[in-house]
Amino acid sequence: MSTIFAHGGQLAHGVLLTMLMTVLGFGCALVAGVVLAVFHISPVPPLHRLAVGYVAVFRNIPLLVWLVLFVFGLPEIGLLYPLFGTVTAAMALYWAAFICEAVRSGIRTVPPGQIEAARALGFGFSQLLRHLVLPQAVRSMVQPLGTVFIALTLNTSLAAAVGVRELTGETQFFTITYDIPIPAFAVTTAIYVLITLAGGLLTGRLERKLAFKR
Amino acid sequence: MPSPRTPVPDSADVLVRLRGVHKSFGDHVVLRDVDLDVRSGEVVVLLGASGSGKSTLCRCVNRLETIDSGEITIEGRALPSEGRELARLRADVGMVFQSFNLFGHRSVLDNITLAPVKVRGVARREAADRARELLTRVGLAHKAQAYPGELSGGQQQRVAIARALAMNPKLILFDEPTSALDPEMINEVLDVMTELAADGMTMLVVTHEMGFARRAADRVVFLDQGRILETGTPGSFFDAPRTDRARDFLSKILSH
Ligand SMILES: Nc1ncnc2c1ncn2[C@@H]1O[C@H](COP(=O)(O)OP(=O)(O)OP(=O)(O)O)[C@@H](O)[C@H]1O
Ligand SMILES: [Mg+2]
């Protein structure tokens, strides 16, 4: 234990990277996922097909494979970006597919009759989304999005496999350098649990806040 | 008590005109060669057995369904096929559904003001004033801040009527507005509709409420398997139907 605290600064840096990757990754995935979901339900066939194809490709290939492809494949074709950015981007693109599905499941909870009523009143597609569909869908999207958030947080640890010294990467370093696998991973586990618990609390609060009388 | 209706003169402008309208879902033909005129201020009641195409006919008028052939015009103009033009047309044609379809996440007042504000660009203040006026008219002024889920079916349907009226529509389509209601709530909705009719609103109404048809309709149109089989005044249709199908239909309805 004392070894870990003696190198607290290193560990804190790992935590920081993990949190940064989580927040950036989730933020970008959220934006991309919502756009994908809108494409998915849009009346424009090419956009719909694009979204369907995207989800099929990204969701059905393991994240680790994507990370390897991005980190080692992109430089092969001459695209060289900083490691952290590359890994975060790969995560965002991967999780966007899951967020698209979470958003769509929320959209499906909006009664079709209400959508029809809005169309009959002269609402266009984007007005329909803005004023009717998304405000109602968001409430039932919070839980599935919370699940994606937790999965994303925990899976940032895969970044260690392609050389990012985030929390898990630092822990591996401790484990190898000082031969203290159990204490090192115990501390790491506690930190991951703290982050995901915070996420869980936040989704619970959000859900209560978004509740409306039915 | 609403004032008795003065009949719409034959010379009144035709607001909605259907000519040779055909519609099928797959190989199932739902509307066959339908010709129908609805004149300004007229109340037309659509009757017919389940599956005869009443809802489909209504939904074709504001293009919630597209037609396969034939022509539908409103004020002489063909229905726009899509986009902004179509949205504008729909804003001018009100619709009231069997299942009310109020926006669950918005208060009663917001339900009524949303379309005027977002679709028509009316100032929020002005829309709210008008909404309160309409709520008073349907007897629900005290429910402005309630949510749809807190209202009875009859109250929800009256809000839905107010929501349609808020757009100052040229015409309102009613698709079985009282069929989902408990018997004791049917009349509160029919009373509002009867008053609207007396005030000169143009209405195309699908309903099995024969009392309403007799009281408020200028004309009854009987659909059978997607074809208009009879059309006439409520009196002549109910008292002396000309076809066996209509007689059969009426005997089933009236025996309920
Ligand atoms: N979207 C659809 N897809 C396929 N078939 C449909 C669709 N909508 C309606 N139909 C069919 O078209 C026929 C006419 O339906 P419609 O709803 O217009 O009848 P209706 O006269 O309103 O009947 P009801 O009194 O039961 O409401 C029915 O046989 C119905 O099954
Ligand atoms: Mg019907």
Residue nearest to atom 12 of ligand 1 (CA): B30
Report whether pLDDT(B79) > 70. Answer: yes
Which residues approach ligand 1 with their CB closer than 6 A?
B 25, 30, 48, 50-56
List chain A domain ranges.
2-210
Contact criterion met (CB below 8 Å) for A203 and A149: yes
Residues flanking ion ligand 2, Cβ below 5 Å: B 55
- Total-model pTM: 0.84
Using DSSP's 3-state secondary structure scheme, residue A176 falls into helix
Whole-angstrom Cα distance, residue B223 to residue B253? 14
ipTM score: 0.90
Confidence of residue B256 (pLDDT cuts 50, 70, 90): low
Query: What CATH number was assigned to the domain covering residues A2-210?
Result: 1.10.3720.10
> What value does the mean pLDDT of chain B take?
91
Whole-angstrom Cα distance, residue B42 to residue B44? 6
Residues of A within 8 A of B100 (CB-CB) are 113
Torsional sign, CA B219, B223, B226, B229: negative
Closest by CA to B213, choosing from B185, B235, B241, B184, is B235
Q: Do B64 and A119 touch (CB under 8 A)?
A: yes
Task: Give the residues of chain A that fall short of pLDDT 70.
Answer: 1, 212-214
- Name the one residue in this structure whose structure tokens are 């719409």: B8
Give the tokens for residue B254: 């009236």
Specify the amino acid at residue A71. V
Please give the number of the atom of ligand 1 that sits closest to the Cα of B48.
21
Residues of B within 8 A of A112 (CB-CB) are none
Contact criterion met (CB below 8 Å) for B253 and B232: no
Give the tokens for residue B236: 């002549």
Residues of A within 8 A of B88 (CB-CB) are 122
Report whether pLDDT(B5) > 80. Answer: no
Q: Which residues contact B13 (CB under 8 A, 6 or more apart)?
A: B39, B40, B75
pLDDT tens string B160-207:
999 999 999 999 999 999 999 998 899 999 999 999 999 999 999 999
Instruction: Give mean pLDDT, residues B80-93.
Output: 87
Contact criterion met (CB below 8 Å) for B161 and B196: yes
pLDDT tens string B120-131:
999 999 999 999
At A67 the pLDDT is 92
At A213 the pLDDT is 47
Residue of A121, A127, A132 best to disrupt the B interface, most CBs of B under 10 A: A121
At A214 the pLDDT is 46
Contact criterion met (CB below 8 Å) for A68 and A2: no
Q: Do B119 and A127 touch (CB under 8 A)?
A: yes
Specify the amino acid at residue B165. L
Confidence of residue B2 (pLDDT cuts 50, 70, 90): very low
Whole-angstrom Cα distance, residue A50 to residue A56? 10
At B7 the pLDDT is 67
Instruction: Give mean pLDDT, residues B72-98.
Output: 90
